[in-house]
Amino acid sequence: MNLKLAIQKSGRLHEDSIKLLNDCGIAVKSSGSHLRTVADNFPLEVYFLRDDDIPQYVEDGVAHIGIVGENVLYEKEKKAAIIEALGFGKCRLSIAVKKTDEYGTAHFLQGKKIATSYPVLTQKFLNENKIDAEIHEISGSVELAPGIGLADAVCDLVSSGSTLFMNGLREVQTILKSQAVLVQHDSLGEDLLKIVGQLLFRIRAVKRAKNTKYVLLNAPNDALQKIISLLPGMKSPTVLPLADSGWSSVHSVLNEDEFWEKIEALRDAGAQGILVVPIEKMIV
Ligand SMILES: Nc1ncnc2c1ncn2[C@@H]1O[C@H](COP(=O)(O)OP(=O)(O)OP(=O)(O)O)[C@@H](O)[C@H]1O
Ligand SMILES: O=P(O)(O)OC[C@H]1O[C@H](OP(=O)(O)OP(=O)(O)O)[C@H](O)[C@@H]1O
Ligand SMILES: [Mg+2]
């Protein structure tokens, strides 16, 4: 039996979705003109779809799991449970106005026209703020709308902000923060759940490794205690004697977030010859 996974056919999430599967040791090739493919070495069949359709496929169980942005998942209001945040496709759904407009609060939008591809999420935001505004739904090039007199404001995805800037717009309010997530159909049989579990185990090992570095350093023995106290390791750091007596080699793992801070502290404590290498998988 194969687990059926829906991913984006082409676009912002496509490559990262394929890369995640490949990093998990699952041999799946990019779509080309094929709309489905079967992995060589894992019980997985992949469907390549428009991202908008993925929540419906998963709700219906046509696909057992899917990779989709939270923005699309919440907009479509389909029954598909998030089982893992994937850490890519990070963006936000924001309100933007002409850069010369004084926004102040959301009440600026009262009686105005808002262009968006996200009518459900935009309407929710307006309701929460008790604002009556007209929503003009368009499926792309949303940022063009205010400049050509089609709308007063937009509600669209933002990442670097360069599309807004290039179109004379200014982000004024974020209504949703989003990333790609793995979603699951709500009633899978035992056999399929077992495969989902195996896939999740691999995904978590890959994610953990991405946030972690392996560090090797040399330390004079009299600085060892201080250096060990700075290094967490998976259990505790590995300490090996060097050929040169009075010195040891210390191996450990470091979290990406605290990396630079720790490296400086290690150097100050007397560490030398610090090597930092990426970790491919990390199983705890
Ligand atoms: N600028 C961005 N930076 C990061 N992630 C983004 C950005 N824009 C969109 N995303 C995320 O990637 C998803 C897919 O974006 P894309 O622009 O490829 O969608 P699309 O044009 O609707 O594609 P499709 O043809 O599949 O319908 C979005 O729903 C969002 O979750
Ligand atoms: O803040 P930025 O980094 O400029 O990114 C934001 C843009 O990215 C997305 O569009 P995309 O480029 O995916 O094209 P699309 O409109 O064809 O989906 C989104 O709809 C914005 O237009
Ligand atoms: Mg789409």
> What residue's CA is closest to ligand 1, atom 15?
12
CB-based burial label for 240 (10 Å; 0-12, 13-18, 19+): exposed
Tell me the residue type at 268.
D
pLDDT of 236 strictly over 90: no
What average pLDDT does the structure give for the chain?
A: 96
Ligand 2: atom nearest CA of 165 is 4
Structure letter (DSSP) for residue 99: T
C-alpha 237 to ligand 1 mean position (Å) = 42
Give this prediction's pTM: 0.92
Are the beta carbons of 154 and 103 closer than 8 angstroms?
no
Cα–Cα distance, 87 to 60 (Å, whole number): 26
Cα–Cα distance, 252 to 111 (Å, whole number): 59
Ligand 2: atom nearest CA of 163 is 4
pLDDT of 31 strictly over 70: no
Distance between first and last Cα of the chain: 29
Q: Which tens digit of pLDDT belongs to each residue from 180-191?
A: 999 999 999 999
* CATH 1.10.10.10 correct for 3-88+179-209: no
State in words which class domain 212-278 has. Answer: alpha beta
Topology of the domain covering 91-178: D-Maltodextrin-Binding Protein; domain 2 (3.40.190)
pLDDT band at residue 259 using 50, 70 and 90 as cut-offs? confident
Contacts of 100 (CB under 8 A, 6+ apart): none
Phi-psi region of 77 (alpha: psi -120 to 50; beta: other; left: phi over 0): left
Break the chain into its structural domains and give their ranges.
3-88+179-209, 91-178, 212-278
pLDDT of 126 strictly over 90: yes
pLDDT, residue 80, reads: 98
**Across 34-116, where does the E strand assignment appear?**
36-38, 44-49, 65-69, 81-85, 91-98, 113-116
Ligand 2: residues with CB < 6 A are 12, 140, 143, 156-163
In this chain, the answer to whether the domains covering 91-178 and 212-278 adopt an identical fold is no
pLDDT, residue 235, reads: 77
Are the beta carbons of 192 and 87 closer than 8 angstroms?
no
